[in-house]
Each structure stands twice: as structure tokens, then as C-alpha cells.
């Protein structure tokens, strides 16, 4: 019998594409999507969908029992820029939902858990270049604090209760299929839309703000390959560093100008600049590459071509 997967927060930026990728791989009926609201037409039409609140233990437990779930991907979260505006809400959503899933695994109701961490776990005191897997972590945002706490709890539940939990510290993620959801790296998605629509963009980060980024296709592939890896290959149970690209708003604009020569960028940094300044500019992900064979496929040029073509196709710009 095929294993059953539950994706919580399936309608978000990562959740939408992860759901579609897992349905293509495992069969539509074996991947149950759930979120607090309905998703796009393609997601809703492709397989089972349930409305559920990630912070309500009983709603999640009911779905796990009803569908005989083996694996849970917990993608529900309040992201960095939004959580700064609603600190207590951000903390409650990000932590309560994790405890619910870890406790279901501890009780033997699910066998395997994926939970996303983020480069937000790092802070201003973290080495900025080639940030190591194990290093100083003093996050200065609500989102980062919740992710760092989550990493510690994941490792604790693995050591103490044998929970098979796996995690990736996602960099900024770039996709043309779903719009961003209130993150500090959102400029790297918005810029492509604006380049095609208006031929100009005002960045909310300074021109030389370098951050680790990744094309969504790579992130989805990494997530699934970590979950498919044999348990003994998963040596880190807090969260793995993951990397592909590093660039600034200026270098991204130059990559777009190769395709749209008349494109113009200007800069008007806002409160998200301070968040970006607290994060690494590049990440050392050698452990992920060694332990379970991670390799990225998209460089800046390949991603830029993919984004511009994809936006034209999906959004008819």
C-alpha cells in the first residue's frame, strides 16, 4: 500500500508546488493537502483537500487518522516580514503547529515529519560568508527565534523519542507559480513581475544586499530527496544548511537586463533592510551534499530565463 502524505499549509508559496510535485511522484490520491483556506484551481482539482487550522491539534489528528497518514510536511508558518508586525501570532502559529506534529509522531500516529527551517535562524553575530552548519545563532526576528527554537525541539524529539524528523534551512525562494507570502527575500520574485509588467522596479533592499537564494524547483527537489533518503544518511536532525545562489538586487537587475535591456531598478530600503542585514550572504551546505547527495541545478542565468518565461506563461504578462 502506498504511503499517505499530509501537507499542512499546502496553499502557501512552497506548499503549493510541493503538493503538485509529490502528487506527480506518489499519486494524487496519496497526497492530502490541507490549509486554513482554499488554494489555486490546479491544486484544488488535483487531489484531496481539507480545510484545517495548523494550530488546532484535534483537527490535524483527525486528518492523520482519517487518511491513515504516514508522512507529514508542515509548511504552515508566518514569515519574517509579517511576523515582525504580529509577533505573538507569529510565535503561536510557528511553534504550536510544530508541537502538534512532533507529538503525533511521538505517539506513533505518523512515521516521518518534514519541517522547514530558514536562514533566519542566523543573526547579526553569525559569520556572514560561507555560514557554517554549526555556528553562532542569535536571531533577531520573531520568525528566526521561532525557527531556532523549532530546530532545537526537532533534535530533542529525535534524540529523546526517536521521532524521524527532517529539516532544511531554506534560503530565499524564487518561484513564478505562486506569489510570495511576506518574506524579506520577496523582492527577488516581485522584480521579475515588475520587469515584465512595467519595465521598472523599486527594491526595498539596498543594491548591495547579498543574500542566499534558490529557484523553487531546486528547493522542492531538495525537500523530497531529503525525505526519501535512508534514515541513517540523515545525520543532522536540527536542520540542514542548503544553498544554491547568492546575489544582490543589483546583480539580479543586471541578469534581467540581458533579457529586457530597458529595465530600470531604483532603491528605497524599508524595515526589511534590517532583517536582511542580520542574515548571511552565503551558506556552506557541504553537509547536505555529503550526507544525502544534494546538488543544485539552477544558476542565476538559468533561473532568470525560467522566471521570465514562466511568468509570461502563468500570469499572461
Is residue 10 a contact partner of residue 75, using CB atoms and an 8 Å limit? yes
For the chain, count helices (H), then strands (E): 12, 12
- Domains contained in the chain, CATH given: 5-172+214-241 (3.40.50.720), 175-212+245-281+298-315 (3.90.25)
pLDDT at 2 over 90: no
pLDDT in the model for residue 208: 98
pLDDT at 178: 78
Listed range (72-86, 135-149, 168-182) with the worst mean pLDDT: 168-182
Per-residue pLDDT, 1: 76
Of 73, 143, 187, 240, the catalytic one is 143
* Number of alpha carbons in the 13 Å side-chain half-sphere of residue 295: 2
- The answer to whether 187 is a known catalytic residue is no
- What confidence category does residue 218 fall into, taking pLDDT thresholds of 50, 70 and 90? very high
173: part of which helix (H) or strand (E)? Answer: strand 172-174
pLDDT of residue 135: 98
Contact 9, 67 (CB under 8 A): no
What's the whole-number mean pLDDT along residues 84-98? 96
Cα separation, 294 vs 175, in Å, equals 20
In Å, how far are 72, 144, 212, 234, 297 from 300, measured between CA atoms? 32, 26, 12, 29, 10
Q: pLDDT confidence of 137, banded at 50, 70, 90?
A: very high
CB contact set of 100 (below 8 Å; sequence gap of 6+)? 54, 55, 56, 57, 60, 61
Helix axes 142-161, 87-106, angle to 10 degrees: 10
Mean pLDDT of the region 305-309: 97
Average pLDDT of the chain is: 96
pLDDT of residue 179: 76
pLDDT of amino acid 182: 82
Q: Tell me the CB-side half-sphere exposure of residue 316, using CA atoms within 13 A.
A: 0
* 180 band by pLDDT with thresholds 50, 70 and 90: confident
Q: Out of 66-75, 172-181, 225-234, 280-289, pick the least confident.
A: 172-181
Q: Is 232 a residue whose pLDDT tops 80?
A: yes
pLDDT score at 235: 98
Query: From the CA atom positions of the chain, what is the Rg in Å?
Result: 19
Distances (CA, A) of 220 to 15, 75, 159: 9, 12, 27
Mean pLDDT of 300-313: 97
Give residue-wise pLDDT tens across range 17-60.
999 999 999 999 999 999 999 999 999 999 999 999 999 999 99
Q: Residue 119 — pLDDT band, cuts 50, 70, 90?
A: very high
* Structure confidence at residue 84 as a pLDDT band (50, 70, 90): very high
Amino acid at each position: 500500500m502506498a504511503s499517505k502524505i499530509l501537507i499542512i499549509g499546502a496553499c502557501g508559496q512552497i506548499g503549493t508546488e510541493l503538493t503538485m510535485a509529490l502528487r506527480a511522484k506518489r499519486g494524487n490520491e496519496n497526497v492530502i493537502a490541507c490549509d486554513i483556506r482554499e488554494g489555486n484551481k490546479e491544486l484544488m482539482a488535483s487531489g484531496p483537500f481539507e480545510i484545517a487550522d495548523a494550530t488546532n491539534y484535534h483537527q490535524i489528528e483527525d486528518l492523520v487518522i482519517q487518511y491513515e497518514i504516514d508522512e507529514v510536511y508542515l509548511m504552515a508558518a508566518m514569515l519574517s516580514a509579517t511576523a515582525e508586525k504580529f509577533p505573538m501570532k507569529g510565535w503561536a502559529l510557528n511553534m504550536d503547529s510544530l508541537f502538534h506534529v512532533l507529538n503525533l509522531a511521538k505517539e506513533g500516529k505518523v512515521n516521518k515529519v518534514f519541517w522547514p527551517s530558514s536562514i533566519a535562524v542566523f543573526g547579526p553575530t553569525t559569520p556572514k560568508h560561507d555560514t557554517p552548519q554549526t555556528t553562532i545563532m542569535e536571531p533577531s526576528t520573531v520568525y528566526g527565534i521561532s525557527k531556532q527554537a523549532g530546530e532545537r525541539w526537532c533534535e530533542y524529539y529525535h534524540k529523546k523519542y526517536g521521532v524521524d524528523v527532517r529539516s532544511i534551512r531554506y534560503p530565499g525562494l524564487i518561484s513564478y507559480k505562486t506569489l510570495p507570502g511576506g518574506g524579506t527575500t520577496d523582492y527577488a520574485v516581485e522584480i521579475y513581475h515588475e520587469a515584465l509588467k512595467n519595465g521598472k522596479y523599486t527594491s526595498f533592499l539596498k543594491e548591495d544586499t547579498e543574500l542566499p537564494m534558490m529557484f523553487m524547483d531546486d528547493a522542492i527537489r531538495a525537500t523530497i530527496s531529503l525525505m526519501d533518503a535512508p534514515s541513517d544518511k540523515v545525520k543532522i536532525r536540527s536542520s540542514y544548511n542548503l544553498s544554491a545562489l547568492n546575489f544582490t538586487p543589483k546583480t539580479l537587475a543586471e541578469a534581467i537586463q540581458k533579457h529586457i535591456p530597458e529595465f530600470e531598478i531604483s532603491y528605497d530600503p524599508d524595515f526589511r533592510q534590517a532583517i536582511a542585514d542580520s542574515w548571511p550572504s552565503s551558506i556552506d551546505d557541504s553537509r547536505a551534499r555529503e550526507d544525502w547527495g544534494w546538488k543544485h541545478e539552477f544558476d542565476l542565468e538559468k533561473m532568470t530565463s525560467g522566471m521570465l518565461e514562466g511568468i509570461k506563461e502563468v500570469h499572461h504578462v
